[in-house]
Structure 1
């Protein structure tokens, strides 16, 4: 019976995190004004619209931020956590605490996305520097605005860009120290946060 619960948790966590990631990516793509006509941008819209459009009727966007997408990601993360906790026999968790844990988990997901996204961009720049793959273009449009301050600290030396080193250091500090400290301070159950 314990094995069945672990399998169920694995499947639900994987599929749920995948969908939350799509919603978070849509939020980021709209935040940086990524190319809407990119096939991947259109796919993000297609897969997230069924849940996002009804929420937009209640939560409008303002200051150029798609608040509905961010709230949807938080709601989905909270539901996902509660389902996993019920399967793991923890019972119903206080909604306020669940919300805080969801924020911490989304921050973990965000840091993990930027970490692996930057690695993919670095490798792609070495292997295929002039590739116009839609996935790489979208990734670059999302990552470049976050990398810009780090490029000011450590400008590119000709074709060599060392700014990702500082970026990785910041991500590592957040992932290894800040997020676990937040999780511990809020009493988050181990294993609920993605990527830390």
Structure 2
């Protein structure tokens, strides 16, 4: 559930970044504070040269969260269930 909230927060941040007047909004600031640790590692990745106007960092952060949710969490839940039930 937390990962789903983070995914929606990243999507909201990406959409709000298209609107210039939202940068002073405190809710947008909170959204940026929540999503910055997830997006920052991917901001170094550049696609399309130095003149690219599209920031792909939110897309890569979403892909990472989806991979965590589908590949990493199910085995962790399984291991925890076995530990708790024994």
How many equivalent pairs are there? 79
Where do 5+ consecutive residues of structure 2 fail to align? none
Show the counterpart of 1:122: 14
**Structure number, greater radius of gyration:** 1
Question: Quick one: which of 164, 172, 175 aligns to 2:58?
Answer: 164
- So what's the TM-score if we normalise by structure 1? 0.36
Show the counterpart of 2:25: 133
What is the alpha-carbon distance in structure 1 between the residues aligned to residue 55 and residue 61 of structure 2?
12
Where do 5+ consecutive residues of structure 1 fail to align? 1-107, 189-196
Runs of 4+ in structure 1 deviating by more than 6 angstroms, as ranges, are: none
- So what's the TM-score if we normalise by structure 2? 0.73
Deviations 1:95-143 (A, max 9, x none): xxxxxxxxxxxxx51x2232111000011122x2331221111111222
RMSD value, Cα: 2.3
Structure with greater contact order relative to length (CA < 8 Å, sep ≥ 6)? 2
1:143 and 2:38 are equivalent in the alignment? no
